[in-house]
């Protein structure tokens, strides 16, 4: 994660996260929040594309341009929301339930980005690719995605002191760990038979159905 292009993408993600944390929910307009959230999603897509390449181009800018050309923004967002909704439902049962659900669908985002699949196809592909290795996938998802993105915000929600400094530090830790999780899940997707990423200049949008 601490090498190009991932270091560049991580720095951009940290910058967006720290800006969001410093503004605070009460002072951040809806338009500004949506813009920052969109940038974060594109950084995630760029990270998946770069991590899916055996020899990633060291230019973070090249992968960001490739993320825009891939045109999978909404499919990525919907699949990501679906994963967190399913995991959230699992949390109402037991933590183990959330981990099990995550183990099944955690690789679906990679299927959207690397294989240009539709929403349903990506979810199905994520389940297929993880077969036989769901314990490892679930562990990565639980420790590096679920924990920083769910457990820490919940801790603040139940009364943990929340100062500007704490928000900034928490945001930075969440970004670093989550990006490491994205890299690990993408490597797992490719190693388990998923399609690797081509050079950034070769990345094109998903063909439209006639």
CA distance 94 to 80: 21
pLDDT band at 116 (very low <50, low <70, confident <90, very high): very high
- The structure's pTM equals 0.82
Distances (CA, A) of 4 to 47, 141, 178: 11, 24, 17
CA distance 117 to 61: 24
Using an 8 Å Cβ cutoff, are 46 and 64 in contact?
yes
| Highest mean pLDDT pick, 92-96, 157-161, 176-180, 182-186 | 182-186
pLDDT, tens digit, 9 for 90 and up, residues 1-14 = 778 889 999 998 88
- Would residue 170 count as lying in a domain? yes
Q: If you search the block for the tokens 């940290």, which residue do you land on?
A: 14
- Would residue 56 count as lying in a domain? yes
- Would residue 128 count as lying in a domain? yes
The most distant pair of C-alpha atoms in the chain lies apart, rounded to whole Å, by 55
Comparison of pLDDT for 25 and 5, the residue scoring more: 5
Using an 8 Å Cβ cutoff, are 119 and 78 in contact?
yes
CA distance 73 to 21: 23
* Domain count of the fold of the chain: 1
Mean pLDDT value across residues 88-107: 78
**Residue 54: which domain range?**
6-202
């Amino acid at each position: 994660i601490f090498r190009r292009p991932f270091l560049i993408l991580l720095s951009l993600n940290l910058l967006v996260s720290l800006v969001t944390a410093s503004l605070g929910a009460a002072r951040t307009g809806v338009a500004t929040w949506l813009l920052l959230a969109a940038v974060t999603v594109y950084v995630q897509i760029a990270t998946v594309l770069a991590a899916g390449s055996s020899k990633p181009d060291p230019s973070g800018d090249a992968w960001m341009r490739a993320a825009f050309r891939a045109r999978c923004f909404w499919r990525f967002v919907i699949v990501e929301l679906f994963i967190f909704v399913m995991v959230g439902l699992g949390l109402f049962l037991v933590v183990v339930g959330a981990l099990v659900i995550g183990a099944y669908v955690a690789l679906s985002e990679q299927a959207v980005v690397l294989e240009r699949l539709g929403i349903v196809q990506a979810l199905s592909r994520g389940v297929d690719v993880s077969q036989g290795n769901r314990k490892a996938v679930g562990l990565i998802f639980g420790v590096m995605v679920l924990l920083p993105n769910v457990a820490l915000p919940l801790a603040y929600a139940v009364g943990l002191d929340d100062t500007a400094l704490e928000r900034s530090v928490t945001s930075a830790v969440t970004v670093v760990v989550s990006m490491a999780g994205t890299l690990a899940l993408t490597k797992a997707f490719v190693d388990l038979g998923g399609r690797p990423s081509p050079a950034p200049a070769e990345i094109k949008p998903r063909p439209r159905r006639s």
